[in-house]
Chain A
Amino acid sequence: MSSLKITIGAVNTRPGSSREYKTGGWRTMRPQVDVEKCIQCLQCLAYCPDGAISKSENAVQIDLDYCKGCGICAKECPVKAIVMLKEEK
């Protein structure tokens, strides 16, 4: 059990603290971005249920700490710049 002091009325004053929980461990498939093919349309960024995708300099990057491997990004990419590979771990 945690020893983080609890608040009156269970009011949680730490917005976005879910980031402490790394859902990346859920994956069985892992996305791989081909940065050459990526046109930065950012549809994958919009469609990611977990907000794990962000803009990189010339393409997108996927935060593997949170990516659950759902595969939506790969499926929706208009130029097929993302492929899903079997998660090795």
Chain B
Amino acid sequence: MSRQGEERELFAPGHRMCAGCAEGIAVRNILKEAGPHTIAAIATGCLEVVSTAYPQTAWEIPVIHAAFENAASVAAGVEVALRELGRKEGVNVMAFAGDGGTFDIGFQALSGMLERGHDVTYVCLDNEAYMNTGIQRCSSTPWGASTTTSPPGSCSKGESQPKKPLAAICAAHDIPYAATATVAYIKDLRRKVRKALDTEGPAFLHVFTPCPTGWRHGSDDSVELSRLAVETGVFVLWEAVDGDICNLKVTYKPKKRKPVAEYLKKQRRFGHLTDEDIQRIQQEVDEKWEKLED
């Protein structure tokens, strides 16, 4: 933490993120780790919209926003151009996209970039729904969450599908580095960013970022919720080095996992769930950890 005081802010204040937005926490810390010799491709989404309203920009590094589903392809173009122009040395090429622009519409471009082995670090900022367009479900939305396109009602419990295991899918591309991180654990996040950037070839970082507006929690709870997600075992911190998901290493194992209810009850998007529903979620988390422990 001590470096923090001296490091230059590469994501300037004055951006229009909601108060308490965890993406702001993530991007500031990731860029501090990456440093000014970084070029980023950013996807359409909250991050892009709040930070680039012409003629103002929050970015102190060069960034390019092209469209929603192609941060990975744009980053690939940047990386190859830098190499051809002899300017790649010492420059990080990154891509930032939300869960929408990664899990769903951005999946193809991401898979292509990973498969072709570009030296790009792709960061997915996951707030578990299409937040910029007003909280619609995505394949990243967990079972039971209320969104505007998966609202609970007399015939619905909210989101009906489990969360797509995207980070594992990326690791299964046999890329040199894939990891999950979240904003409550800054040191862990920065260590993983460092590792991703220092790794030659594609790296994927899945960063879990609570959203006060979309998850309906207090703006002051964003860090606490990211911590609870990990402490209850809902979000697993792991990394996979040099290969497939069989080599996955859990980087933080809670000594005794807190009950998921502690995490769920702080968010009104889960407010409609019954005790039975919460029990189901608890069971799924327990089973997941049993498999991990094997």
Physical contact A–B (CB less than 8 Å): yes
* A15, A66, A68, A72: the one within 8 Å of B222 (CB): A72
Contact of B183 with A15 in the complex, beta carbons under 8 Å: no
Q: Mark B214-242, 1 if CB is under 8 A from A, else 0.
A: 00001111111000000000000000000
State in angstroms the CA–CA spacing of A46 and B221 once bound together.
Answer: 15
Contacts of A42 in B (CB 8 A): 1-2, 4-5
Identity of the chain A residue whose Cβ is nearest the Cβ of B17 in the assembled complex: A49
Task: Find residues 10-52 in chain A having any chain B CB closer than 8 Å to their own CB.
Answer: 10, 12, 14-23, 26-27, 40-43, 45-52
A68-B19, A72-B220 given as contacts; is B55 within 8 A of A16 (CB)?
A: no
State in angstroms the CA–CA spacing of A54 and B13 once bound together.
Answer: 12
Interface size on B, residues (CB 8 A): 42
Contact of B13 with A72 in the complex, beta carbons under 8 Å: no
Contacts of A20 in B (CB 8 A): 14, 56
Size bracket of the A interface = 35 or more
A18-B12, A50-B17 given as contacts; is B22 within 8 A of A43 (CB)?
A: no
B9 interface hit (Cβ, 8 Å): yes
A80 interface hit (Cβ, 8 Å): no
Contact of B60 with A15 in the complex, beta carbons under 8 Å: yes
Contact of B19 with A26 in the complex, beta carbons under 8 Å: yes
Contact of B223 with A75 in the complex, beta carbons under 8 Å: yes
> Which of the segments B23-31, B253-261, B269-277 contacts the partner chain?
B23-31
Contacts of A26 in B (CB 8 A): 19
Task: Find residues 50-94 in chain B having any chain A CB closer than 8 Å to their own CB.
Answer: 51-52, 54-61
Q: Mark B18-58, 1 if CB is under 8 A from A, else 0.
A: 01111111001100000000000000000000011011111
* A18, A27, A41: the one within 8 Å of B1 (CB): A41
State in angstroms the CA–CA spacing of A40 and B1 once bound together.
Answer: 10
Contacts of B60 in A (CB 8 A): 15-16
Identity of the chain B residue whose Cβ is nearest the Cβ of A2 in the assembled complex: B55
Contact of A10 with B17 in the complex, beta carbons under 8 Å: no
B157 interface hit (Cβ, 8 Å): no
Contact of A4 with B55 in the complex, beta carbons under 8 Å: yes
Contacts of B52 in A (CB 8 A): 12
A19-B14, A22-B14, A23-B14 given as contacts; is B4 within 8 A of A46 (CB)?
A: yes
Contact of A69 with B19 in the complex, beta carbons under 8 Å: yes
Contact of A21 with B17 in the complex, beta carbons under 8 Å: no
Contacts of B224 in A (CB 8 A): 75-76
Contact of A19 with B12 in the complex, beta carbons under 8 Å: yes
Contacts of B21 in A (CB 8 A): 49
* B22, B56, B183, B223: the one within 8 Å of A21 (CB): B56
Identity of the chain B residue whose Cβ is nearest the Cβ of A73 in the assembled complex: B220
Contact of B1 with A71 in the complex, beta carbons under 8 Å: no
Taking the closest CB of chain A, its distance from the CB of B26, in whole angstroms, is 9
B177 interface hit (Cβ, 8 Å): no
Identity of the chain A residue whose Cβ is nearest the Cβ of B1 in the assembled complex: A42
B11 interface hit (Cβ, 8 Å): yes
Contact of A71 with B55 in the complex, beta carbons under 8 Å: no
**18 pairs of residues in contact across A and B, judged by CB atoms under 8 Å:** A12-B55, A14-B57, A15-B61, A17-B55, A18-B13, A19-B12, A22-B14, A42-B4, A45-B4, A46-B25, A46-B29, A47-B186, A48-B24, A49-B17, A51-B11, A69-B219, A70-B20, A75-B224
Which residues of A are in contact with B by a Cβ distance under 8 Å? 2, 4, 6, 10, 12, 14-23, 26-27, 40-43, 45-52, 54-55, 63, 65-66, 68-72, 74-76, 84
| Additional pairs, 11, CB under 8 Å, beyond known A12-B57, A49-B22, A68-B19 | A6-B55, A18-B13, A19-B14, A20-B14, A46-B29, A50-B13, A51-B13, A65-B13, A68-B219, A72-B223, A75-B224
